[in-house]
Amino acid sequence: MNSLRNVATLLLLAAGAYGQGAPAKPDPPPVAPSASVFIGPYSPITGKQRLGWFVGSTIGPETLAAGVFTSAWGTALNRPKEYGGSWPGFGKRYGLRLTGISTSNAMEAALGAIWGEDPRYFRSYGQSLKGRVLHVIIFSFTAHDRGGHLRPAYARYIAASGNNFLSNTWRPDSEANTRSALSRTALQFAGLIGKNAYIEIWPDVRSHVFHRGSPH
Q: What is the pLDDT of residues 116-165, one digit of tens each?
A: 999 999 999 888 999 999 999 999 999 999 999 999 999 999 999 999 99
Q: Of the ranges 37-41, 64-68, 182-186, which one carries the lowest mean pLDDT score?
A: 37-41
Q: Is residue 80 part of a domain?
A: yes
For the segment 172-182, what is each residue's pLDDT rounded down to a tens digit? 999 999 999 99
Query: ω before 88 within 30° of 0 (cis)?
Result: no
Q: How far is CA 100 from CA 26, 45, 105, 126, in A?
A: 38, 24, 9, 36
- The type of residue at 89 is G
46, part of any domain: yes
In this predicted structure, the answer to whether residue 23 has a pLDDT above a threshold of 60 is: no
b/e string for 173-190 if b means 16 or more Cβ within 10 A?
eebeeeebbeebbeebbe
Alpha carbon 100 to chain centroid, angstroms? 13
**For the chain, how many structural domains are there in total?**
1
pLDDT score for 42:
86
Q: Residue 96: inside a domain, yes or no?
A: yes
Does the pLDDT of residue 28 top 80, yes or no?
no
215, part of any domain: no
Burial 48-67 (b: 16+ CB within 10 A, else e): ebbebbbebbbebeebeebb
Structural domain contains residue 214: no
Domain residues for 72? Answer: 2-20+27-209
Domain assignment of residue 186, yes or no: yes
Confidence (pTM)? 0.78
pLDDT of amino acid 103: 97
Residue 78 within any structural domain of the chain:
yes
The answer to whether residue 216 sits within a structural domain is no
Give the pLDDT confidence of 151-176 residue by residue, as tens digits: 999 999 999 999 999 999 999 999 99
